[in-house]
Chains A and B, each alone.
Chain A
Amino acid sequence: MGYVAVKGGQDAIENANKLVDYFRWKGRTEPIQLDQTKTQMRFAVDRAMGEGSLYAPEHAALALLQVEGDSFEAAFHLRAYRATLERRFVAETLNTREMLVHRRISSTFREIPGGQILGPTRDYSFRLLNPSLLNATLGSIDQFIQQLRDEIDSRKLHAMTTYKKVIDIFLQEGLMSREPRPGEDRRLFDVTREAIKFPVPRSAVLQMLARAETGALMCMAYSTMRGFGDSHQTVGEMRIGEVPVRVTDRRGRLRYVGKIKVTEAEMVGGGGRRGAQAAGAAPAPRFSIGYGLCFGQNETKAICMGMVESALRNPDPDKPANNQEFVLYHTEVIEGYGFTNHLKLPHYVTFQAGLEGYRRATRRNAEKAKEETVGAAATGGAE
């Protein structure tokens, strides 16, 4: 029970680690390179960065390689690494109006100022397995890129530009207000430095949703429009592209430190309870946006974040997605992943404590039954 058993536990861990490596390498295939992961597994990298709450494509690619593509583990590795980093500066608020847009769509209007830009998306592709991908070589890739370049008529290209926002239309028409909601908690909270307390300020809600697990967030968002909510929001605008990040240095100068790729979704609500309320008060704005923003290209997450953010601003205990505690605690990826998996740890002490309770109850019942029999016999004898 003493030292030998302890050595046994440590040996088991070491062997488990070796076996993981063995199962990874036993196929004896070429190791995947970091830059291959970074450039050819873009969505996995982006998702890991978002859930891992750290914009670092190389680190995310390394994490994905290390854990053989497990999205929970990749996010977990990034979070654990992030927690060791110093916070030297706080970035200035991102201005997504400055975005170098790759893709930008709106479903609220047919034409929008600046135009709809479909950009890189698989939305309208057939989901058919494509075996020709297996024949790709560096040569065929070069050829593809060359062909694509040749197709572009440089005379038709307009200058690099930025785009106005679709919500500007609503603002201009007075259908939306820049004013915060009365009583809205505008404190800037940092969920990585402080435990949240309820009700949670909007800044903390947005941070937690931006770090949430994509699938969990989708589950919440889906529920708001499927059966546990009456919303059907519209994509006011979704834009994907690169945004400059700036910090103010110690001398007070604004410094450009690089650019990050983000997906931003502005979901426009309408109808439902809130719509009806607003209609009653005539001059009040009818629309508000549910805001979604996440690292990289993760459209599902940004859209779902917008929907859930909007739901959370209308608390309703009957709807899971309209309940801050339910959503924020249970979409948190590292906590949910860890706790559900902790069931694999030994629980024999707690189980034994439970067993002893049941045994005591059984003993008591047996004694009771015996007393009753004895009692009955005694009464029987007296008669």
Chain B
Amino acid sequence: MIQNVKFQKSFNYAYIDEFTKKEIRRKTLKAVASPGYQVPYSSPEMPISRGWGTGGLHLSLSLVGPNDVFKVIDQGSDASVNACNLRLFVQEMTNCALTFDTAAATIIQTRHRVPEEILTEKQILVLQVPQPEPLRSVERHEAKTRVMHAEADYAKMWVTLYEAYVRSGQLRTGAGHPLMVNGRYVATPSPIPSWDVPNLSMARCLYLFGAGREKRIHAIPPFTRVEPLEFDDIRFKVEEFVGVKCSVTNEDKAFMDQIYDDDFNQSYVVNDSNFLDKLRQGPRPPQKLFTNPE
């Protein structure tokens, strides 16, 4: 019969064993050294589902130390159930300090948003990535997309953007606009809205992208040139939110959530929960805004 000792196992600091953490850090350094290049890594199973932020967790747990201040957001909010769950897990495994304050965090793990507030050189933004391969929509085979990246052969991507323009009158609708990173690799920014994309370029912070299920890490180091794919005459544009104001702050310069009350009345509210808190309390935090070209 089973002995009790069999089920008495304490976990290593930050859950992942030291060898694997070391491996993830080395792969992360490689990613930083080749901005936009997808580095394969071991991606061990986590006690959190694949597709729910395991890649982000690998990065966060390989980075977090006793002096770190950790923040997790999902859809721009600290309050989202999965953000709560990941935050609890990281704290239980590392005993690190937690914060909701964007400026106070040293590591921020996020899904689908970049905070509105400008991040500094003391901060790392870890983005959860469902599909690290921006070319997957034009080439289904991994073996071929890797060759396409190696040869910087992005013709199919350009054709797709052109076709989207012909069909819909715009380069692309929706989140995750493909990027040219440092003039070399086409990469995905993860499914962030176009609103956030200009913030990735020449930023002071380090952006790390973890795709756990697909076992890839890529990075945008500080002060790296990042250009959303666009044509000379048909330019990349961010969401406009025409005639929309936040019902709480009366603000219009932020990414908005559209919310409905019980009677289906529509209103808008600033999406970034910490930015909203700060707008209400004042002063307004530093923010980089992008103006759409005509």
Chain A, range 18-50, C-beta contacts under 8 Å to B: 34-35
Chain B, range 1-59, C-beta contacts under 8 Å to A: 1-2, 6-7, 9, 11-12, 15-17, 23, 40-47, 49-52, 54
Given contacts A1-B277, A349-B193, A352-B256, is CB(A76)–CB(B2) below 8 Å?
no
Tell me the smallest distance from the CB of B41 to a CB of chain A, in Å. 6
Are the CB atoms of B239 and A197 closer together than 8 Å? no
Chain A, range 316-361, C-beta contacts under 8 Å to B: 325, 334-335, 337-342, 345-350, 352-361
Are the CB atoms of A199 and B143 closer together than 8 Å? yes
Chain A residues contacting B213 (CB-CB under 8 Å) are: 335, 338-339
Are the CB atoms of B52 and A342 closer together than 8 Å? yes
Chain A residues contacting B258 (CB-CB under 8 Å) are: 348, 352, 355
Chain B, range 229-267, C-beta contacts under 8 Å to A: 237, 239-242, 248, 255-258
Are the CB atoms of A356 and B257 closer together than 8 Å? no
How far is B83's CA from A5's CA once the two chains are assembled, in angstroms?
Answer: 12
Are the CB atoms of B112 and A198 closer together than 8 Å? no
Nearest B residue to A350, CB-CB: B175
Chain A residues contacting B241 (CB-CB under 8 Å) are: 356
Total inter-chain residue pairs, C-beta < 8 Å: 180
Chain B, range 77-93, C-beta contacts under 8 Å to A: 77-85, 88
Nearest A residue to B215, CB-CB: A195
Chain A residues contacting B192 (CB-CB under 8 Å) are: 349
A9 contacts the other chain (Cβ, under 8 Å)? yes
Q: How many positions in chain B have a CB within 8 Å of any CB in the partner chain?
A: 79
Are the CB atoms of B194 and A353 closer together than 8 Å? yes
Are the CB atoms of A198 and B170 closer together than 8 Å? no
B276 contacts the other chain (Cβ, under 8 Å)? yes
A82 contacts the other chain (Cβ, under 8 Å)? yes
Q: SS class of chain A's interface: helix, strand, loop or mixed? A: helix
Are the CB atoms of A345 and B52 closer together than 8 Å? yes
Tell me the smallest distance from the CB of B140 to a CB of chain A, in Å. 8
Tell me the smallest distance from the CB of A195 to a CB of chain B, in Å. 4
Chain A residues contacting B185 (CB-CB under 8 Å) are: none
Chain A residues contacting B141 (CB-CB under 8 Å) are: 198, 325
Are the CB atoms of B79 and A8 closer together than 8 Å? yes
A80 touches which of B7, B45, B74, B112 (Cβ 8 Å): B45
B195 contacts the other chain (Cβ, under 8 Å)? yes
A6 contacts the other chain (Cβ, under 8 Å)? yes
Interface residues of chain B, those whose CB is within 8 Å of chain A, are 1-2, 6-7, 9, 11-12, 15-17, 23, 40-47, 49-52, 54, 74-85, 88, 100, 111-113, 130, 140-143, 146, 168-170, 172-176, 191-195, 213, 215-216, 237, 239-242, 248, 255-258, 269, 271, 273-274, 276-277
Interface residues of chain A, those whose CB is within 8 Å of chain B, are 1-3, 5-6, 8-10, 12-13, 34-35, 58-59, 62, 76-77, 79-80, 82-84, 86, 192-199, 325, 334-335, 337-342, 345-350, 352-361, 363-364
